A and B are shown apart, each in its own frame.
Chain A
Amino acid sequence: MDNINVLIIEDTPEQSEALNKVLLANHYNVVGIATNYTDALSLFYQKKVDVIIIDVFLNGNPDGITFAETINIVPNASKPFVFLTNSQDRKIFERAKLTKPFSFLMKPFNELEILYALEMAVEKFYEQTNVFLSEDQNTVVSHDSLFIKKKNALKKVALNDILYIEVEERYCNIITEKEKFVILISLTKISTLLDPNQFIRTHRNKIVNSNKIEEIILADNLIILKGNYKINLSDTYKDFIKKMNILS
């Protein structure tokens, strides 16, 4: 599991320092602190960013909103973000609201509030709301990773690292090449959110990353994965083989 990469856009050093402290304490990874619009854009494109914290007013101008608007325009470039603001001025809000998904945090804020806001931003961005705070789920699935809430902090796992997923009632065992851990999500939910061409159900309670398959032994109903993991193949789910390009 990796830490979440956060980009901070904030022109006041005290504020950004406080934010930095809170985020590090909660195992977030701060990739950079930008103090103006241009720096923010260059950092955004240089680093791998998962979430952005944006101060609405940068040096007296609502450049924070401009930044959000800019990354919103570029397709597939946008990331979840949280606005920080001092004022509840209606005009600013009406403008900020147009950048979607829109979440904001009023200053002054405490540690819990900022963590809550970040979680909300991720949920809203991937359109899977009320996940992290409910009792029966703790994972948001994006197009390339899983965002998992562990205790108070968010973690992520790249989908490409996953070998297979084993479901046990309300839990899912995620097996990667390096580690093995449990997340809280139902089978139906995770199977609808994952790309069905990459993740294939091979058994009643098993989903396999097709990129990791090394061998299929039909006689023994076995699939051999990278790292010599052996997975049972049930007859009900055999059909997927027809779709695969078979080398004869």
Chain B
Amino acid sequence: MTPKFRLLYLSIIFLIPVFLFSQIKSNNDVIIKKIQKKAAEYKSEINFTKSQSFYKKKDWDSTLIYSMKQLSSNTNKEIADYCHFFRGIAFKEKDLYKESKKELLLISNQFDFFTSVQIHLGTISFQLSEFRTAIRYYEKALQSPLIKNQYYSFAKTQEGIGSSYIFLKEYNKAEDCLMKNLQINEKAKNKAGLYNAYNILANLYYVQGKNAKAIHYFEKAYLLSKDINENYIKNLAAFNMAVFEENRSNFKQALGYRKEAEQWNDSLNNQNKIWAVADFEKKFAVAQKQKQIKVLEVENELKNNQRNWLFFSAMSLLALLTAGIYLYAQKVKNAKIILLQKNKLDELNTTKDQLFSIVSHDLRSSVNALKTSNTKLSATLESKNYEELNQLIIQNSGIANGAYSLLDNLLHWAMLQTKQLYFHKESVHLYSIVQQMEYNYKPLLLDKSIEFENLVSKNSFIFVDLDSLKIILRNLLDNAIKFSNENGKISFTTATTKNSFWDLVIKDTGIGMTQNTINELLNDSELLSKKNNSEIIGTGLGFQLCKQMIQKNNGILAIESEINKGTTITLSFPKTAQNG
């Protein structure tokens, strides 16, 4: 009989969750309505509201979290009770019976569903195989005045007590309770309840060995199971019948029931399989989608990378191009500057060369003439020919004067070229300056018996740099004397042709010059022209210097000449400071 017993136990244990489940279901409507009311009452408690809504949805994990949050900040006793209730139920649903029991025990006896709590506690104790404790809780529930009106809870409580007694082997008490359960369920015509009642009773009698009564209830349960649309109930009922018939050695009937049980079991499995397949398909689809997403992500990243790379390479190319253009422009600029500098240097070099040629030719010959003249002088001194001595001294001083003025011109010209010459314009009395010039050339004029006339107006003031004016006049007078024959005449006169200018006219009765020579003199590029007659014709440096000085003083130069008649040079200088 041992195997039979084991089977029986199995079937009872298998059955218990079912009745617990249905109990909760029946009570749920009432409880949820009440909870909704409470939620409306405690709207401000967000965590409570949330936990109750999750409780309704049977999302047990979320219920646990929010009820815990609510409890940690809670002061209201009623809310605390509800939260403990939620947690107890949630733990129980997750088969954590010990935790569930702890939570439910924390609920105060003023709680609205205290009876329900007791029933739950009973069920939990039953699950934990603490049958005595289970009975104690159930009986406490029975003491509640309300339970009589709630046939469902009442029936289930009786069922629980009965089941507990079976396990405690107190069969009489068990039969008593189970009969009550049967009566209630018959009254209520609840098929599932009735089936459970039949089944437990059958098991009770079966355990006691009262086979006749047992078969009666097993058959009833079996017949009822046909009307219940639950495969596992049908399977169980058939299976129970099969075991029973086996024990009675009715193997043929037993086999029939077994087959039926197998059939229900298969359909149950099938259903599970379909669910599993669907689940698997779903998972597969999700995985597929996930894969697609990943592929897309990778593609996107690739695209991004590509775009970034393009952008950066374009940027760097642009930068390179700009730098290149900049460098090129810089180079061109530098080249230009270098070219300019080269031209300037060439010009300066030419100037320097010319300077050297003058120094080497004229100055050298002058000093050389002085040297030979000096030798002659000492020889004459020995012969004590005083007449000739005086002649030689005059000649020497003439050469020295010539060399000095050449040197002076050179110096001024060099300074003018290097822009070192000090230039300070002021009002200058022309008559006095001409007079001063004449003073210096008196010996020379006397020597050549040249008549000199200073007919400059005594009221002529011009605005020039005094020193450069002296250089100009000295050179022009020098030339005039040089190109005049003996007993010639040199005159300085003034005229005002233009309002703001004084014209200084220098007239001599010298050898004159051709228009060609004049043009050459006036030509800027012809800085120093070599002359054929080097004896009396100088380097041209003096005249070039004059030209540049006149220009610097804002003056104008004009030359008129006739061969063997004389030359007239007209200089025009501003009377007063000019604008700009």
Contact = CB atoms under 8 A, between A and B. Distances in A.
B421 A130 contact: no
Contact of A88 (B429, B440, B467): B467
B181 to A, nearest CB: 133
A113 B424 CA distance: 17
Interface in A150-189: none
Contacts of B424: 93, 97
A129 B420 CA distance: 29
B387 to A, nearest CB: 29
A106 B467 contact: yes
B422 interface: yes
B422 A90 contact: yes
B552 to A, nearest CB: 14
A217 interface: no
B440 A133 contact: no
B431 to A, nearest CB: 7
Given A129-B427, A133-B458, A111 B439 contact: yes
A110 B439 contact: yes
Given A112-B435, A133-B429, A90 B421 contact: yes
Interface in B364-398: none
A116 interface: yes
Contacts of B439: 110-113
Contact of B432 (A88, A93, A116): A116
B436 A130 contact: no
A90 B420 contact: yes
A93 B436 contact: no
B415 interface: yes
A21 to B, nearest CB: 15
A112 B467 contact: no
Interface residues of B, number: 20
B436 A88 contact: no
Interface residues of A, number: 17
A88 B415 contact: yes
A106 B433 CA distance: 13
B414 to A, nearest CB: 11
B427 A130 contact: yes
A134 B439 CA distance: 20
B458 A134 contact: yes
Given A90-B422, A93-B424, A135 B436 contact: no
Nearest to B431: A133
B415 A113 contact: no
A120 B436 CA distance: 14
Contacts of A97: 424
Interface in B407-443: 412, 415, 420-422, 424, 427, 429, 431-433, 435-436, 439-440
B461 interface: yes
Contacts of A129: 427
Contacts of A110: 436, 439-440
Contacts of B525: none
Interface in B104-131: none
A88 B458 contact: no
B33 to A, nearest CB: 113
Interface in B453-485: 458-459, 461, 467, 470
Nearest to A94: B422
Interface of A: 88-90, 93-94, 97, 106, 110-113, 116, 129-130, 133-135
Given A88-B415, A110-B439, 9 more contacts: A88-B422, A90-B421, A90-B422, A110-B436, A110-B440, A112-B435, A116-B432, A133-B431, A134-B458
5 contacts: A88-B420, A93-B424, A106-B470, A110-B440, A135-B458
